[in-house]
């Protein structure tokens, strides 16, 4: 889906703007988020190199001319034209996806403890299901095998809604590479997920197939080196990730036109669903259809799975009720759908979602003067909300603990 780029600020604009609470329901106060720069600069540069080689086709001047055309169509909200040519898609991905990819890698690093919990629970559920049908000897063999494995050593399946421009793909690759590089020195204070394979499924309304394929190949293929490169450089020249641990696929679909059955099919095996800089655009297109999509996600996502929403801070959408129009914060609309007060009216009905992380304004700041890229890079300001799909058992346990 088209992205709202109002959150992007040039590098020289470093001052955090004054926060304003608006809307019918007050927004929560901003938390003291401090970026820990978990992703090393050398890895960030490797991720930028993927975009440089995959999407920067032509000279900088030629790319700038194409970007001006794309910006004009986006300004006129002519999204069909803005995303209607392959050269437009490549230029868009080259311009706006690299900075976001670095930001997404940092976001997933921040959320590693929650993802580690997800995989631990997934492993426990899988073991319980297997034990129900296994013989005693099978159970004993399974227990012995598990003693030599970590509980979270499971593939992770991520569905990226509106993720065609490739920022999620490259950002997730960077996060997985970071986990693999640090597997030998785990952080005891912040558990890290042990992921054997990452499977990414992107859905978007435009034809991002080639961009996604090129970025995927750029991740699993060592960068091009001159034949005059030194032996040491050749020995150190490796892909961001090996192909066997990183799989990417893409389908072109309009999310707002999908029915419940289509959403359920799309969600098969998904552990995490991301909606990155897309939800507010969906709301701007149709609040009713977006609410329907969120209800369908709620109905089909398995208990324990995660829903991650990242978008521009201060995003508002207009809702018309009884002939009167009112602007509501995107965050309020999202909570109203997922954490609906209707559950209180239905006695004995547990909530369907639990909010794990919520912050209305954060910054991802690039390291100054350390990264090289042919197009200007920008800091990213964003809001973030992470939800976990509840089941009835989990809610009862929490009530007993209270």
Q: Tens digit of pLDDT for each residue in 72-110?
A: 998 888 888 999 999 999 999 999 999 999 999 999 999
pLDDT value of position 29? 44
Q: Tens digit of pLDDT for each residue in 341-398?
A: 555 455 456 779 999 999 999 999 998 778 999 999 999 999 999 999 987 555 544 4
CB-based contact 371:48 (threshold 8 Å) = yes
Which residue ranges make up each domain of the chain? Answer: 38-224+232-401
Q: Which residues, including other chains, have CB under 8 Å from residue 59's CB and lie 6 or more apart?
A: none
Q: Tens digit of pLDDT for each residue in 104-157?
A: 999 999 999 999 999 888 766 655 544 555 555 565 554 544 444 444 456 899
Q: What separation in angstroms does the CA of 389 have from each of 162, 270, 339?
A: 21, 12, 11
Considering the domain 38-224+232-401, what is its CATH architecture? Answer: 3-Layer(aba) Sandwich (3.40)
Determine the Cα–Cα distance for residues 168 and 275; give it in Å rounded to an integer.
10
Q: For the residues 291-314, what does the mean pLDDT come to? A: 95
CB-based contact 311:5 (threshold 8 Å) = no
Q: For the residues 178-200, what does the mean pLDDT come to? A: 83
pLDDT value of position 234? 79
Determine the Cα–Cα distance for residues 200 and 157; give it in Å rounded to an integer.
6
Determine the Cα–Cα distance for residues 91 and 210; give it in Å rounded to an integer.
13
Whether the full predicted model's pTM is greater than 0.85, yes or no, is no
Q: By mean pLDDT, which of 120-124, 134-138, 168-172, 226-230 is the weakest?
A: 134-138
pLDDT value of position 4? 47
> Higher-confidence residue: 21 or 59?
59
As given in the structure block, the two tokens for residue 14 are 């470093």
8-9 and 379-389 beta bridge pairing: antiparallel
The rounded mean pLDDT for the chain is 82
Determine the Cα–Cα distance for residues 360 and 294; give it in Å rounded to an integer.
20
Q: Tens digit of pLDDT for each residue in 9-50?
A: 444 444 444 444 444 444 444 456 777 778 999 999 999 999
């Amino acid at each position: 889906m088209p992205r709202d780029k109002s959150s992007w600020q040039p590098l020289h604009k470093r001052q955090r703007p004054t926060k304003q609470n608006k809307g019918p329901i007050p927004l929560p106060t901003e938390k003291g988020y401090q970026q820990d720069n978990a992703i090393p600069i050398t890895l960030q540069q490797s991720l930028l190199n993927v975009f440089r080689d995959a999407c920067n086709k032509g000279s900088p001047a030629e790319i700038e001319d194409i970007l001006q055309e794309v910006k004009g169509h986006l300004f006129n909200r002519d999204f069909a034209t803005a995303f209607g040519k392959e050269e437009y898609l490549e230029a868009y991905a080259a311009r706006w996806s690299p900075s976001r990819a670095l930001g997404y890698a940092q976001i997933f690093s921040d959320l590693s403890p929650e993802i580690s919990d997800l995989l631990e629970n997934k492993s426990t559920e899988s073991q319980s299901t297997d034990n129900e049908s296994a013989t005693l000897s099978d159970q004993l063999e399974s227990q012995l095998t598990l003693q030599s494995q970590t509980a979270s050593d499971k593939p992770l399946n991520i569905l990226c809604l509106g993720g065609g421009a490739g920022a999620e793909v490259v950002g997730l690759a960077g996060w997985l590479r970071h986990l693999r590089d640090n597997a030998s020195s785990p952080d005891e204070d912040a558990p890290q997920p042990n992921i054997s394979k990452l499977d990414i499924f992107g859905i978007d309304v435009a034809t991002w197939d080639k961009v996604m394929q090129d970025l995927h190949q750029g991740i699993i293929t060592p960068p091009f080196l001159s034949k005059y490169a030194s032996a040491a450089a050749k020995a150190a020249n490796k892909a961001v990730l090996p192909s066997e641990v990183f799989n990417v696929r893409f389908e072109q679909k309009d999310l707002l036109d999908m029915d419940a059955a289509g959403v359920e099919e799309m969600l098969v095996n998904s552990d995490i669903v991301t909606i990155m800089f897309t939800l507010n655009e969906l709301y701007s297109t149709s609040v009713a259809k977006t609410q329907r999509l969120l209800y369908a996600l709620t109905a089909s996502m398995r208990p324990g799975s995660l829903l991650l929403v990242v978008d521009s801070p201060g995003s508002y959408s207009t809702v018309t009720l009884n002939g009167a129009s009112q602007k509501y914060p995107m965050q309020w609309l999202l909570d109203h759908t997922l954490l609906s007060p209707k559950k209180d009216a239905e006695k004995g009905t547990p909530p369907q979602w639990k909010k794990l992380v919520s912050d209305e304004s954060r910054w991802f700041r690039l390291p100054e003067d350390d990264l090289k890229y042919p197009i200007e890079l920008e800091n990213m300001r964003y809001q973030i909300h992470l939800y976990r799909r509840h089941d009835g058992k989990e809610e009862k346990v929490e009530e007993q603990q209270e």
